[in-house]
């Protein structure tokens, strides 16, 4: 077997890959923002000390973390339209699934970040007359985000890699773009190899940036 990558050109990139890359990056961004917001809420529920808040959050987080992501994607894509009586499309299914799924992982990161803030700062804020919500918003969460920023970004890189799983429901992501290009040019093996290289380069470059950020945060501390 002889590999031939001569088909790899700007025409391939512009016609097949840019649309998929745009969706993969957009899905990563939306899932990160939505996951962090929902994950922070879940973390606060688990740390609230109120059972009626902590138990549902704990069940949700542990449940999501125990199920393969591809299975959750298929559930949303196949079951949700059956429940609401109309299709929601592969792209929307992917967005909803990733936000709901990644929130469980971001929740654990945020919970660890909140617990890393010294208890004395919480007590100091309460001594100044701050309410619980004010202490969390003004004192604890800013420090927690700074402490957990490298982990949050690392999870985002993993999230970007996981976006390739939307291939299972036919969403047009970066991997789908490579697959279609491979079929059109009659070079499926080369296309998948090129996809692996692109994913590696992007994720490796981002991981190096996260490492440098982590070093800078360590120096600030």
Q: Give the pLDDT of residue 39.
A: 94
Domain encompassing residue 42: 10-220
The pLDDT, as a whole number, for residue 55 is 95
Between CA 214 and CA 147 the distance in angstroms is: 9
Inform me whether the pLDDT recorded for 218 exceeds 70.
no
Q: Which residues have CB under 8 Å from 134's CB, separation 6+? A: 125
Residue 162, in any domain of the structure: yes
Q: Is residue 58 a part of any domain in this protein? A: yes
Q: Is the pLDDT of residue 216 over 60?
A: yes
> Could you tell me the CATH number of the domain that includes residue 205?
1.10.3720.10
How many structural domains are present in the chain? 1
| Residue pair 98/163 in contact by the 8 Å Cβ criterion | yes
Q: Is 34 helix (H, G, I), strand (E, B) or coil?
A: helix
Predicted confidence at residue 97, as pLDDT, reads 93
Is residue 81 situated within a structural domain? yes
> pLDDT tens for residues 74-118?
988 988 888 888 888 889 899 999 999 999 999 999 988 888 888
What's the pLDDT score for residue 204? 93
Residues 6 or more apart from 203 whose CB is under 8 A from it?
157, 160, 161
Residues contacting residue 18 through CB under 8 Å, at least 6 positions apart: 177
Residue 165 lies in a domain: yes
Mean pLDDT (the chain) is 87
Has residue 104 been placed in a domain? yes
* 1 found inside a domain: no
Mean pLDDT of 207-217: 81
Q: Is the residue at 4 inside a domain?
A: no
Is this prediction's pTM over 0.85? yes
Using an 8 Å Cβ cutoff, are 91 and 31 in contact? no
Helices (H) and strands (E) in the chain, counts: 10, 0
User: Is 80 a domain residue?
Assistant: yes
The residue with greater pLDDT, 106 or 122, is 106
């Amino acid at each position: 077997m002889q590999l031939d990558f001569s088909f790899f050109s700007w025409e391939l990139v512009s016609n097949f890959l840019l649309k998929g890359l745009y969706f993969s990056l957009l899905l990563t961004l939306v899932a990160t923002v939505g996951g962090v917001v929902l994950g922070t809420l879940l973390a606060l529920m688990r740390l609230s000390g109120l059972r009626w808040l902590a138990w549902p959050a704990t069940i949700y987080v542990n449940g999501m973390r125990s199920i393969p992501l591809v299975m959750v994607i298929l559930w949303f894509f196949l079951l949700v339209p059956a429940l609401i009586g109309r299709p929601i499309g592969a792209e929307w299914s992917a967005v909803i699934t990733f936000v709901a799924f990644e929130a469980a992982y971001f929740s654990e990161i945020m919970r660890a970040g909140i617990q890393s803030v010294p208890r004395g700062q919480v007590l100091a804020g309460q001594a100044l007359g701050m309410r619980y919500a004010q202490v969390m918003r003004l004192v604890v969460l800013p420090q927690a985000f700074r402490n957990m920023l490298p982990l949050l970004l690392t999870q985002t890189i993993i999230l970007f890699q996981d976006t390739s799983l939307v291939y299972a429901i036919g969403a047009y992501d970066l991997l789908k773009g490579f697959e279609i290009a491979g079929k059109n040019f009659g070079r499926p093996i080369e296309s998948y190899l090129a996809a692996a290289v692109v994913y590696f380069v992007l994720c490796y470059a981002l991981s190096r940036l996260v490492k440098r950020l982590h070093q800078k945060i360590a120096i600030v501390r």
